[in-house]
Structure 1
Amino acid sequence: MTHSLAILRPDDWHLHLRDGAMLNAVLPETARHFARAIIMPNLIPPVVTAADAAAYRDRIMAALPEGAAFEPLMTLYLTEQTDPADLRAAVESGLVKAVKLYPAGATTNSHGGVRDFDRVRGVLETMADLGTPLCIHGEVTTPEVDIFDREAVFIDTVLDPLRRATPGLRVVMEHITTAQGVAYARAGTDLAATITTHHLVINRNHILVGGIKPHYYCLPVAKREEHRLALREAATSGEATFFLGTDSAPHTDALKEHACGCAGCFTATNTMSILAHVFEEDGALDRLEAFTSLNGPAFYRLPTNTDRITLVKGDAVTYPSKIDTGDGTVTVFDPGFPLHWTVK
């Protein structure tokens, strides 16, 4: 028997598109199903000014397939040199929808991130005044903290003090991976959390058992099974605090399958099929629309999309295992189980 589910067209509240040949290759994979996406600014060099964001947006729009309807929601990369006046102008013009905080060294192309939070106090206060969300990669990077504990330690030592010092600052805890992240997001005001597709599916065993699986390696790294289950409970709860941010992050196979492999899972191609599987498995298909299409716009104070997509369940769906780019192939995330839902 074939089943179908119509939902408002989804948005992706955390997406890496890269640039150049990679951008041209991966953008259609997102634009096929998603109406909008928060675009990550960690290019080389990063998107740090309004002019940078405008130029990057132009490149994204030029790369869209003919007839595609997709809106990139631009962000600025927060540095200790970010100009509050430039930020205000970018936000008030409608160009920039959020600012991204990378603790220095936390993930790909984050070396220019923040080390001294006192030096960005003026920017954060401007953001609180404007109501502009701060999107946070929530991990400490000090070497003495175990990589599996970095998120929990960040909440206690960085995020909570930062929020207390900046009343009214609206924060998105991006790609949370722990039960502690779920609990903190639930307890806060002016606070939301994105959850990725892959963190609903994999735990750290998927990366390490039976040999290292580089295409499951991401940052924040997947944690124990108890944390994956906490994420699934949060995502499928329907609560307005939680919404989809895929963190779909393409790297060529040569860079993933490397002695020092890059972090990131490329999920843009099959995310909606995987999510429908997960939500059905957890008896929550009626709450899929909230997670993918309603909660994110509500937090970002944007209208919901008006058009719809229809998910249909039938025979197993075959997706390409790789996407060809001018820079090399990119492997599509393999959830490890057959997918029977597809976007009609």
Structure 2
Amino acid sequence: MQEIVIRRPDDWHLHLRDGAVLKGVLPETARHFARAIVMPNLVPPVVTAAQAGAYRDRILAALPEGATFEPLMTLYLTEGTEPADVAAAAASGLVKAVKLYPAGATTNSQSGVRDLDRVMPVLETMAEIGLPLCTHGEVTTPEVDIFDREAVFIDTVLDPLRRRLPSLRVVMEHITTEQGVAYAAEAGEGLAATITTHHLILNRNNILVGGIKPHYYCLPVAKREHHRLALRRAATSGNPRYFLGTDSAPHVDALKEHACGCAGCFTATNTMALLAHVFEEDGALDRLEGFASLHGPAFYGLPLNDGTLRLVKRDQPHAFPEKIFTEAGPITVFNPGFPVHWHVEA
């Protein structure tokens, strides 16, 4: 048996949804994570401080009795977002970041940004007050191949934006490519990148070979194997520019196993055990705490968590639940496709 003890981790990119799904999936995150950056792409989206406050109240009301978890709220950037509202939300301590969705890039992104010039007053205000911009880093122009969207976004949107507003703090969320890894490594201190659990495990063959696997389909979509290996090197490197953002994205099975299935992998239940497996494979268990517990708070300027998490490796593989059952329907838990011997013992 092996074991490690790390400071209680945070999730810097999480989807909780709302209503019955929120109630069903929130315990899966709160079991292991102290805090999470909560995505605002509800229907309708969370675009104002008042809406963020109301959503936070719903999250706290859904927590299991005795659970300790802090939702870190975000605003959904639209071309109608008011700079003053963003500044007030940040000053209140309620909102920790603003999320940029290029319109049409992913789930519930229809209200996102089509013309970056129209949101420059908001971005200028964010740069002045130090409020981070979390980016879904993909272009959506139809002539760009879906596997190239991230690299093109870096070249045509992100880098020009950072040159225009060098003081803007940016999180490249869920990077999936060698280009994303390299850009984050070479950028200044005002930029960081999150990496998901599933992108450390999946390449595009896992989705397509032997039949389409809807529960492996996510956006940004998993790429070629050399990109996955680049992500693993980054995550396990100890470089503080990279930290965990699971992008755990619950959809009920009826919406995943569908003629036009939704994008997202639900990893909240087993992320920490999977990460221990990955980091051990790469000889980097001593760097897991940095990736999951230290680097994110440092970038966001938040204190470290007080509690700890104990991970134990046992001879018997972990038997993860196949599904989480909610009043909205079952949600399939991410299956890595290999036995995992690490168990989380809080």
Task: Specify the TM-score bucket, using the shorter chain as the normaliser.
Answer: over 0.9
Q: Residue type matched to 1:29 in 2?
A: E
TM-score (norm 2): 0.99
Q: CA deviation at 1:77?
A: 0.1
Q: 3-state DSSP class of the match of 1:100?
A: strand
2:51 — aligned with what? Answer: 52
2:237 — aligned with what? Answer: 237
Cα distance in 2 between the residues matched to 1:340 and 1:167? 44
Query: Tell me, which stretches of 5 or more residues in structure 2 are unaligned?
Result: none
Q: Residue type matched to 1:194 in 2?
A: T
- Are 2:336 and 1:340 equivalent residues in the alignment? no
Query: Tell me, which stretches of 5 or more residues in structure 1 are unaligned?
Result: none
Cα distance in 2 between the residues matched to 1:331 and 1:81? 36
1:301 — aligned with what? Answer: 301
Q: CA deviation at 1:307?
A: 1.0
- Are 2:188 and 1:184 equivalent residues in the alignment? no
1:122 — aligned with what? Answer: 121
1:62 — aligned with what? Answer: 61
Q: CA deviation at 1:167?
A: 2.1
- Are 2:100 and 1:98 equivalent residues in the alignment? no
Q: CA deviation at 1:179?
A: 0.2
Q: CA deviation at 1:248?
A: 0.1
2:257 — aligned with what? Answer: 257
Cα distance in 2 between the residues matched to 1:63 and 1:138? 31
Task: Spell out, residue by residue over 1:88-144, the C-alpha distance to the aligned partner (whole angstroms, 9 max, x if none).
Answer: 110001000000000000000000000111111110011111111100000000000
Q: 3-state DSSP class of the match of 2:161?
A: helix
2:40 — aligned with what? Answer: 41
2:207 — aligned with what? Answer: 207
Q: Residue type matched to 2:333 in 1?
A: V
Task: Spell out, residue by residue over 1:193-216, the C-alpha distance to the aligned partner (whole angstroms, 9 max, x if none).
Answer: 000000000000000000000000
Cα distance in 1 between the residues matched to 2:210 and 2:59? 39
Identity of paired residues, percent? 78
Task: Spell out, residue by residue over 1:142-185, the C-alpha distance to the aligned partner (whole angstroms, 9 max, x if none).
Answer: 00000000000000000001111112000000000000000000
Moved over 4 A (4+): none
TM-score (norm 1): 0.99
Cα distance in 2 between the residues matched to 1:146 and 1:319? 35
Cα distance in 1 between the residues matched to 2:141 and 2:86? 29
Cα distance in 2 between the residues matched to 1:316 and 1:115? 47
1:149 — aligned with what? Answer: 148
2:11 — aligned with what? Answer: 12
Q: 3-state DSSP class of the match of 1:277?
A: helix
2:319 — aligned with what? Answer: 318
Q: CA deviation at 1:342?
A: 1.1
Cα distance in 1 between the residues matched to 2:21 and 2:163? 40
Q: Residue type matched to 2:239 in 1?
A: E
Cα distance in 2 between the residues matched to 1:209 and 1:241? 33
